[in-house]
Structure 1
Amino acid sequence: MTAAAANWEHRFMRLADVVERRLVTGEVALTTLAAEESDFVRFNASKVRQIGHVSQGALTLRLIRNERQAYSTLTISGDAHTDDEAIAGTLAALRAALEDASADPHLLVDTTTWTQATRRRGTLPKIESLLSVVERCAARLDFVGFYAGGSMARGFASSNGSRGWHELDNFNFSWSLYDASGRAIKTTYAGEQWSDEVFARKVEEAAARMPVLARPARTLAPGNYRAWLAPAALAELIGTASFTAFSARKQATSRSEFHRLNSGEASLDERVTLTEDIGLGITPGFSEDGYERETVPLIRAGRGAQQLTSARTAREYGLRPNGAPANEMPISLSMQGGDLADSDVLAALDTGLYVGNLWYVNFSDRMDCRMTGMTRFATFWVEHGEIVAPIEAMRFDDSLYRLLGSELDRIGATPELLLNDSTWGERSTGGLQLPGVLVRGFRLTL
């Protein structure tokens, strides 16, 4: 645990106590924190274009009385007197807002008392070392990338007595190698334990495929093609479906893309198991409504299992909340691996498509969980286990019911951790841990 993260924990717990001392009879307060100490570096043409460090903490106060609620978010200054005054002013404003607020019929918060804490210390590169290894590994390459790494902290405190703390050190580095034609190969490296050797190997593996990009691109006719969907490609499909497919609210209103799966009308291949796996430790084990998050089996042996149920959905539909966020999206999704080793992927594919990434993915038929998008870069034509040419960008249109069902041939043995790379306002927690999949038929349309 870094000294900065330890300081955030101390500040948060003190401020939560300040909030609760100022409450009056009948009031309930839920206090949350999102804080970080992060480094950011942007590269272009193998050179540093932007570099910076962010230290920030946002405290959200949620005041509840008589089934009415109001909330406000303020930035922590670090000065105790200033922060205490800001809290006093915020509570006064929230009390005034509650006077005009309507009763919320779906309001539900946890009233039990619990305590949990997660503190995971990682090994992150010093910025000087990072710049040095990029300079060394990307020499003579057109390297374009973005690095974000550091400590992230999330806190929760309830005036009912619950306390939660989650802090970890991690990094997320994504980059592309471009050739003269403008084609590129994208690679990601994310985790908690940085290794110069692993980074160098990933750059070297991508660079080894650059000569293939210089070959004339192969144009394919529309049709079904045997294909390997790398973890990043599968993540685009499952990530798009995850916006609503695993939601208890969407299932209750028959609007889930996996409604037929969850109702038992359809199934996937029995080797497919998807879980909201809080045990990965990449996201807090508590929700903003004060519930401890649970590990939830979403698809078990190809069949629908449970859904993600937020507090509001639970109250509206008479369900039990399992700590899901309000949008009921998975935030720590894990898919069980199979038996296809990374070194055997090309041989098992034999002849067909190697799909490294997918782009611009959206639904073409929600109730069939069918999606469309583009192959774009890092898609290659493979013949007899050898990559022979890049592929011109093609549009695909296919259903997860097929790709993870009737068309599923093999599942990669090594799931890859793909952390959430969003930095909009703050670095995000969570992500996906997915293997690649080998499918018998991947539908290209034009």
Structure 2
Amino acid sequence: MNQDAFFTLTERLHSGLTGSEVLFSNLSGEVSDFVRLNRNRIRQAGHVQSAGLELTLIDGARQVEGRCELSGEFRADLSQTRHLLTRLRERLADMPDDPYLQYSTTPSSSDRRVGEASPPAAQVMADLIRAADGLDLVGIWASGDLSTGLASSLGHRHWHHSQSFNLDWSCYLETDKAVKASLGGLHWDAAALHHRLETQRHGLRVMARPARTIEPGRYRAYLAPAAVNELMHMLSWGGFDLRNHRTHQTPLLRLVRGERQFSPQITLREEHERGLTAGFTAEGFVKPAVVTLIDGGKFGQCLVDARSGQEYGEAVNAAGDAPEALALAAGEMPLTEVLARLDTGLFIGNLWYCNWSDPNDCRVTGMTRFGTYWVEHGEIVCPVKVMRFDDSLYHLLGDGLEALTSERELMLSAETYEGRATDSALLPGLLVSGITLAL
């Protein structure tokens, strides 16, 4: 469903409201190409075109929600959504008051379009297969248009449209020996794909060497952006939402209390103006361009969605309780100097299966798995057998942090449950004085 059809449909729905009823309509749609690859060959290709409309009917302090899929045929969609509205009205009469109901009563509007169309999937896949000749490549490509719309009977009219791509893949040497990579964004860059493939070829040559077994202990290390992304996922798990802070369940409680702090190099922001996500919430609130979560190592602001804002009397600045467009500020270390400044230690390309081992101390555990190498005197020597790490983020992002790279990598979520995800992260790599390997 396009923008004009969406607003025309919602205007028809608004004309059928009675009394003090308020209606919020949220559209989510996509036109996407998907390709799955295995052994550097296309194994499955598909095209998805879908749109769903969620209606929230409000009367006083009561609300009820419902959703339906749209066909793209206006008359049929109007009939279906009117039927859904009738059913919601029937249910609303039996609903209790919602003490945390909050929605914007101030009309607002926006129309934002980001990105550009990627080359056809067939063209990209042909280029990928040629460039990856001889590699055992497995992965998934997703590209196309994502649309989000909001209209309300109070006068809200918002539209967000993005065009993006995401390629997530691994190249295998044998069994579990592999190197992983991803490439995503708003503007296709074939040169970046070829560069990543050449880097993977080098990584596979290193992987072919006998793997080193190292003893548990603390090792000097460089964590590539993909590994940093896993640590950011852990911080996002309860680290920034207002409710967890007010109920003292956040893993950052000691940071908030001033008992611990991150390095002054750590500034973490939610950049709504940059992300693929819409700049408005389902309740009609306009998100600020930037929310500073951590400022120079100290805690900044919480993310506040509509319900938490109502419960705790804070202004709404987010659609949910976790970041959607996270950005870690860059540092001063060029990528070309990483190995020299690491000197001897671990180059960690990815982290896997992360979880809290002690949230009170912001302590995370997980596995090194793919793309971890032993470095001596600034040269990659050999792969390292899979190890489990267990360390506090107060160390990795605090007293153990030596440098951040000046270059950052944009990583898009590869999740496709109920549609392509729009979460993203813009992250540098980290050089740390030590990371603890447990076993």
| TM-score bracket, shorter-length normalisation | over 0.9
**Who is 2:279 aligned against?**
285
Structure-1 separation of matches of 2:428 and 2:115: 26
CA deviations 1:101-139 (Å, max 9, x no partner) are: 111011111111111111124140212211210121111
Q: How does 1:16-415 map to 2 (within 5 A)?
A: 16-294=10-288, 295-322=290-317, 324-326=318-320, 328-415=321-408
**Who is 1:442 aligned against?**
435
Shift of 1:431: 1.1
Count of aligned pairs between the two proteins? 438
CA deviations 1:31-87 (Å, max 9, x no partner) are: 101100100000000000000110000100010112111111111111111111111
Q: Which amino acid aligns with 1:141?
A: L
**Who is 2:3 aligned against?**
9
Whether 1:432 and 2:422 are equivalent positions in the alignment is: no
Instruction: Please give the secondary structure, in 2, of the residue aligned with 1:280.
Output: coil
Once the two structures are overlaid, the 10-residue window that deviates more, 389-398 or 190-199, is: 190-199
Retained in 1: the 8 A contact 2:203–2:371?
no
Structure-1 separation of matches of 2:281 and 2:33: 27
Q: Which amino acid aligns with 2:316?
A: P
Q: 1:225 to 1:79 in 2, by over 3 A?
A: same
Structure-2 separation of matches of 1:264 and 1:160: 43
Once the two structures are overlaid, the 10-residue window that deviates more, 393-402 or 178-187, is: 178-187
CA RMSD of aligned residues (A): 1.1
Q: Which amino acid aligns with 1:309?
A: V
Retained in 1: the 8 A contact 2:32–2:47?
yes
Whether 1:422 and 2:418 are equivalent positions in the alignment is: no
Q: Which amino acid aligns with 2:252?
A: F
CA deviations 1:116-170 (Å, max 9, x no partner) are: 1111241402122112101211111111111001111111112110111111100
Q: Which amino acid aligns with 1:410?
A: A
List gaps (5 residues or longer) in structure 1.
Answer: 1-6
Retained in 2: the 8 A contact 1:181–1:214?
no
Retained in 2: the 8 A contact 1:263–1:304?
no
Retained in 1: the 8 A contact 2:224–2:350?
yes
Retained in 2: the 8 A contact 1:8–1:35?
no
TM-score by length of 1: 0.96
The percentage of counterpart residues that share the same residue type is 40
Shift of 1:181: 4.7
List gaps (5 residues or longer) in structure 2.
Answer: none
Structure-2 separation of matches of 1:240 and 1:14: 42
Shift of 1:410: 0.5
Q: Which amino acid aligns with 1:282?
A: L
Shift of 1:230: 0.6
**Who is 1:4 aligned against?**
none
Shift of 1:325: 2.4
Structure-2 separation of matches of 1:432 and 1:188: 13
TM-score by length of 2: 0.98
Shift of 1:192: 1.2
Retained in 2: the 8 A contact 1:230–1:435?
yes
Shift of 1:211: 1.2
Q: Which amino acid aligns with 1:402?
A: H
Structure-2 separation of matches of 1:94 and 1:46: 49
Instruction: Please give the secondary structure, in 1, of the residue aligned with 2:240.
Output: coil
Instruction: Please give the secondary structure, in 1, of the residue aligned with 2:234.
Output: helix
Instruction: Please give the secondary structure, in 2, of the residue aligned with 1:221.
Output: coil
Structure-2 separation of matches of 1:307 and 1:422: 25
Instruction: Please give the secondary structure, in 1, of the residue aligned with 2:174.
Output: coil
Q: 1:376 to 1:281 in 2, by over 3 A?
A: closer
Instruction: Please give the secondary structure, in 1, of the residue aligned with 2:332.
Output: coil
Once the two structures are overlaid, the 10-residue window that deviates more, 46-55 or 153-162, is: 153-162
Structure-1 separation of matches of 2:361 and 2:152: 42
Retained in 1: the 8 A contact 2:146–2:163?
yes
Structure-2 separation of matches of 1:182 and 1:367: 34
Structure-1 separation of matches of 2:312 and 2:175: 55
